Chains A and B, each alone.
Chain A
Amino acid sequence: MEVKSRMRRTASVAMVALMGLGLVACSAGGSDTPLDPDEVSGEISLLTPIFEGSPGQDLLEDELLPKFYEEYPNVKVNVDYTTYGNLNEKLTTAVVSGLVPDVMLMGVGWVEGFASKNVLADLGELGLSESSLKEKYTDAIVDAGTWDGKVYAVPIMLDTRFGVARMDILKEAGYDSPPSSWEELIEIAEATTVRSSSGKLERAGFDMLSLDARQAFETMLFSAGGDIFNDDDTEPTFNGPEGVAALGLMSDLINKYKVEDIGFTSTDDIVNPLINGRAAMGIAHNNLWSQTLAADPTVIDNLEPFLIQGEAPGMFFGGTLATVAKNSKSPQAARALLEFLSSPEAALAANEQRGNVPALTELLDSDYVQSNRFVQFAMENLDVAKREGGPAKWLEVRGDVAPAVQSALLGQSTPEKALDDLAGLVQSAIDR
């Protein structure tokens, strides 16, 4: 099965490679300044929180980098693998020691902080333009890599969160389609929740706890029509009426409607509750599709993605972007690697390996996207998706969001107070 998947991936990589070559040729005529491979040289370092683990490492070192070396024979890449959990430590020690990797892959919401501190190179100065990026990506995705009107990062992949329903369970309860409003969501969740005679929860009607509390809240906030910050990212707005309503709904689902109990699922669970039927609906990551194919393909047809519809359709996107260090000694070589990693060929392979959503709009038609319903759904709805981040201080405060959300879900605090306290903390960080 793994061999088949590898063959399929290699085939799609080859196919997209041809497509990519054509596009590279086309883009050379655009506003980006093309690189001359013969004149690009140097030894550069790459820090990556993706491509981790054996499969990722094999993909990068055995399939992708050899192709890069074919194009740029005078460039050598030293790879430093990490995870998103350890990326902060890696970057911190790198900055303190003055050994910032030439190319760094980082998440949505990270770029602003490092760009504002002059750690990242303005890609415009290296020959990449915002207008050319906006021809390939949706505006919101390009915005995730910009700061103060300049481009600092190019997207590679997206991680999205949206609603997923187990249609077999919903149909048993008499519902033909996923909820199209919060009211319906509550009604269906209550109808599909199952408890034993002793009151022990056996199936959650709507699962929010197997996802990071911050991202679950943000998805619901977007669904309420809210935003995390105001337009110029100077003030938090997540504690407005929309945020209070979103966190209130989450709290009510647990404490009032009893459709899930604290501890019923967690982010440490090996199998997502939507796969083994322990939840009828929930907020899920797009790679649930790949997880289901690996764990229990028989339920794949029962999984239905949906936008959590409140005042607005709610979908969250994060992702991985490629950046270049401002002090790179080989900026052109670094740019070459950045362009390679974000090219259709490499990006598609990386996305397929992780079950993620390609950032490049053109990849919507690729076999991988067309064969993965969740990824396809995510790409088709990117226009309504919102991201976290905005202010340069986001990285400093994002760790405070989950405890605030948890305090409301646990009934320790009202949603309003939890969000107001958090907003005060965030505002003081922004003002600092």
Chain B
Amino acid sequence: MTTTDRHPVQSDSAPPTGMSVKKLPKRAGHISIAEKRRRRAGWLMITPSVIHVGLWTAIPVLATFYLSFTDYNIFDAPNWIWLDNYIEMFQDPVFVQSIWNTIWYTFWTVPVAMAVAVVVAVLLNQGLKMQKFYRTAFFVPQVTATVAIAMVWLWIFNPQYGLLNAALESIGLPGQAWLVDPTWALPSVILVGAWQGIGIKMLIYIAALQNIDESLYEAASLDGASSIRKFFSITVPMLKPATFFVFIISIIGAFQVFDQIYVLTDGGPANATTMMTYEVYRSAFQEFRMGMAAAQSVVLFAFLLFVTLISRRATKEED
């Protein structure tokens, strides 16, 4: 991919063999025909991608920023209202609650699922019997429609005939109204989110584990290192790039949680499980306030950008 950078194609005006290309004085404004062709071909090749990104990413993103300063409601032309949406949003206790709920959800689902995923990945990288079956089993929730998963969890959480309460009652503990009691609703949703997110994280970790040089473990073994020491001194540091990647995509995924809320709790009870994305949806499709929804999306974007930058800086400093 970077071959052309390291071995530039000689142009028609290339110096005689033996002379270094880099040492040639540049002729300002002059581009050879071959170079022009090369650039043209390059532009031609990236044009579909540029059009795609421009149409489906750049324009909507810019439109979102613009609409966030308007009162657009799909029926009437948008009016510029400066920061009114942002002011109203942060005065709205439900949206503020959705921010805290989203942070809380992310705080629990990301690290918990990552920790479980590392352990599972290490275990499934040991050449166990039926390894492929276990890997598939852990990955299935990732590729199953969240709606289908949520339906199963609705049954598990059902206060009257659900599996969870039956299990608790069998050991003498009282059952709970998991999804309708504000104390338990968010933890229940977090449990589903963490469980569902393990598969993809595990897959990335397994790929990263398989790239760790075996000789490191052999050398550690010769030095008498225990398995736990090898895990913390070799595996964990060597997984750092994968961990950063998993961390970022997990945070983005957690901040964008929507479908399981939509199916499991509808944001309730009494807004106990509403999330930022769910409030965006409500503003846009239940209240027809596209301007407000755009402003809420911008805030969500700002959160994600902030977390990504902080994570990136932290990783760089460690490097």
Binding site for B on A (CB under 8 A): 88-89, 92, 95-96, 113, 117-119, 209, 261-264, 266, 268, 395-397, 399-400, 402-404, 406-407, 410, 412, 429
Contacts and interface: CB of A to CB of B under 8 A. Distances in A.
A88 B285 contact: yes
Contacts of A410: 181-182, 269-270
Contacts of A89: 285
A135 B285 CA distance: 36
B12 interface: no
Contacts of A88: 285-286
Contacts of B282: 399
Contacts of B270: 403-404, 406-407, 410, 412
Given A96-B74, A395-B287, 13 more contacts: A95-B74, A261-B177, A263-B179, A264-B159, A268-B154, A268-B158, A403-B94, A403-B268, A403-B271, A407-B270, A410-B181, A412-B182, A412-B270
B267 interface: yes
Nearest to B155: A268
B268 A399 contact: no
Nearest to B88: A428
A106 to B, nearest CB: 14
Given A88-B286, A264-B159, A406 B76 contact: no
Nearest to A263: B177
Interface residues of B, number: 27
The 10 closest A-B pairs by CB, nearest first: A263-B177, A117-B75, A407-B270, A406-B270, A396-B287, A263-B159, A263-B180, A399-B286, A406-B269, A403-B271
A400 B289 CA distance: 14
A82 B288 CA distance: 18
A395 B160 contact: no
Contacts of A118: 75
B287 A262 contact: no
Contacts of A209: 180
B267 A262 contact: no
Interface in B255-278: 267-271
B192 interface: no
B122 interface: no
B284 interface: yes
A113 B75 CA distance: 10
A117 B76 contact: yes
15 contacts: A88-B285, A92-B74, A117-B76, A119-B75, A263-B159, A266-B180, A268-B154, A268-B158, A396-B287, A400-B94, A403-B94, A406-B269, A410-B182, A410-B270, A412-B182
Contacts of B76: 117
Nearest to A421: B93
Nearest to B284: A92
B288 A92 contact: yes
Nearest to A408: B270
Contact of A406 (B74, B159, B268, B284): B268
A395 B284 CA distance: 12
Nearest to A400: B94
B159 A395 contact: no
A406 B94 CA distance: 14
Interface string B171-188: 000001111111000000
A263 B270 CA distance: 13
A402 to B, nearest CB: 7
Interface in B266-319: 267-271, 282, 284-289
Contacts of B289: 396
A403 B288 contact: no
A89 to B, nearest CB: 5
A263 B181 contact: yes
B180 A262 contact: yes
A412 B289 CA distance: 28
Contacts of A96: 74
A209 to B, nearest CB: 8
B160 A264 contact: yes
A268 B288 CA distance: 27
Interface in B114-167: 154, 158-160
A167 B50 CA distance: 70
A402 B286 contact: no
B220 to A, nearest CB: 52
Contact of B285 (A92, A266, A407): A92
B284 to A, nearest CB: 7
Contacts of A92: 74, 284-285, 288
Contacts of B75: 95, 117-119
A397 B288 CA distance: 10
Contacts of A266: 179-180
Contacts of A404: 270
A410 to B, nearest CB: 6
B87 to A, nearest CB: 13
Contacts of A406: 268-270
A177 B302 CA distance: 61
B286 A395 contact: yes
B160 A402 contact: no
Contacts of B176: 263
B145 to A, nearest CB: 16
A380 B179 CA distance: 38
A307 to B, nearest CB: 28
Contacts of A263: 159, 176-181
A429 B286 CA distance: 13
Given A96-B74, A266-B180, A395 B268 contact: no
Contacts of A113: 288
Contacts of A395: 286-288
